[in-house]
Amino acid sequence: MKGHVGEILKIDLTSKSSTTITTSKYEQWVGGIGMATALFWDEIDKDYLARSKDITGFEPENVVCVVPGVLTGTLAPSGGRCEVCGIGPESYPRPLFTRGNLGGRFGAMLKFAGFDGLVITGKAESPVWLDIRDNDIQIRDAKNLWGLNTFETQEEVWKMVKEEGYGDWYGMGSARRDRGRTTQRPAILTIGQIGERLGRIACLIHDAGNAAGQGGFGAVFGSKNLKAISVIGTGSVDVADPRGLIEARQWLAKYNFDVDTAEKKSMAW
């Protein structure tokens, strides 16, 4: 289906391995909250859920699914949201399946890297961060990032990616030239000190202030020793009718302008 890029990335932090799931298996759920929910219920250990009165959400068995909407990465207005699903420790008196979402570049960049979503399972032995550069996936040591706040973490990751030879024109190497190029910095989803300490209201933060606040998924990342997910991609998202999409944007821009003008006139009146 147009709007999807073909694969969902699954990361097992316990074994430090990655596999992919074919997106077509989940296209019926469209994207965003639908696809993330379907992935969660397929990937979660049902025996783990059966212990619902005893679980905290901090167990390695908890599964976190991060899935952008089907319009994310296109020119569609207001299409940039990215859903996060899993067992959320914020719920009281016991954790429940819940969801949150965030805006910003993260969802689009994930699709530009070739993935319609992320499934995160297990727990790393020590702090790690996930480094995604198109189809190059690495689970890297994050001991130097642990203890930093969300702004410091992103700045350190941007610095490392640039110093490792990607510079201002990521993708200029011959191995990546045919896929595309970008001047973007990696989009990073990270936790701060509250998430590291398993604070049940801990958020996931991206860029200057895009946050997935509901559910306490920052604490779930902390319980998995996952400090951050960094992604940079040089691909694109196909749409069925590019001209129609551009015309729709132009129509909306004109409509919004007319509404603003009418509101100003009514206030002046």
Give the pairing of strands 115-121 and 64-68.
antiparallel
- Across the chain, mean pLDDT equals 89
Most distant CA pair in the chain, distance: 67
Q: Looking at residue 229, what is its pLDDT?
A: 98
Closest CA to 64 of 43, 50, 48: 43
Q: How far apart are CA 109 and CA 235, in angstroms?
A: 9
Q: How far apart are CA 105 and CA 258, in angstroms?
A: 29
* Residue at 195 is within a domain: yes
CATH number at residue 191: 3.60.9.10
Total domains in the fold of the chain: 2
Q: Looking at residue 149, what is its pLDDT?
A: 98
Give the pairing of strands 115-121 and 7-12.
parallel
Which tens digit of pLDDT belongs to each residue from 3-18? 999 999 999 999 999 9
Stretch among 113-122, 175-184, 231-240 having the lowest mean pLDDT: 175-184
Which tens digit of pLDDT belongs to each residue from 54-69? 899 999 999 999 999 9
Instruction: Give mean pLDDT, residues 207-228.
Output: 96
Instruction: Give mean pLDDT, residues 199-216.
Output: 96
Residues 125, 33, single domain; the answer is yes
Q: How far apart are CA 248 and CA 24, in angstroms?
A: 27
Closest CA to 212 of 130, 124, 90, 121: 90
Residues 230, 249, single domain; the answer is no
Q: Say whether pLDDT at 176 is over 50.
A: no
Q: Which residues contact 204 (CB under 8 A, 6 or more apart)?
A: 84, 100, 102, 189, 190, 191, 195, 211, 212, 217, 218, 221
Instruction: Give mean pLDDT, residues 28-53.
Output: 92
Residues 137, 189, single domain; the answer is yes
* Residue at 33 is within a domain: yes
Q: Looking at residue 168, what is its pLDDT?
A: 52
Residues 164, 257, single domain; the answer is no
Residues 200, 261, single domain; the answer is no
Q: Looking at residue 262, what is its pLDDT?
A: 45
Give the pairing of strands 128-133 and 226-232.
parallel
Instruction: Give mean pLDDT, residues 252-263.
Output: 61
Q: Say whether pLDDT at 231 is over 70.
A: yes
Residues 246, 234, single domain; the answer is no
H helical segments located in the chain:
33-43, 46-50, 106-112, 150-161, 193-196, 217-223, 242-268
pLDDT classification of 113: cutoffs 50, 70, 90 = very high
Instruction: Give mean pLDDT, residues 137-163.
Output: 96
Q: Which helix (H) or strand (E) holds 12?
A: strand 7-12
pLDDT classification of 48: cutoffs 50, 70, 90 = very high
Instruction: Give mean pLDDT, residues 121-141.
Output: 96
Q: Say whether pLDDT at 269 is over 70.
A: no
Closest CA to 134 of 220, 230, 14: 230
Q: How far apart are CA 135 and CA 118, in angstroms?
A: 13
For residue 166, the enclosing domain spans 7-238
Q: Looking at residue 106, what is its pLDDT?
A: 97
Percent of the chain with pLDDT over 90: 74
Q: Looking at residue 253, what is its pLDDT?
A: 81
Q: Looking at residue 268, what is its pLDDT?
A: 45
* Residue at 2 is within a domain: no
Residues 58, 177, single domain; the answer is yes
Tell me the chain's radius of gyration from C-alpha atoms.
19
- Out of 29-38, 72-81, 171-180, the most confident range is 29-38
Residues 13, 113, single domain; the answer is yes
Q: Looking at residue 248, what is its pLDDT?
A: 86
Residues 168, 267, single domain; the answer is no
CB atoms within 10 A of CB 12: 17
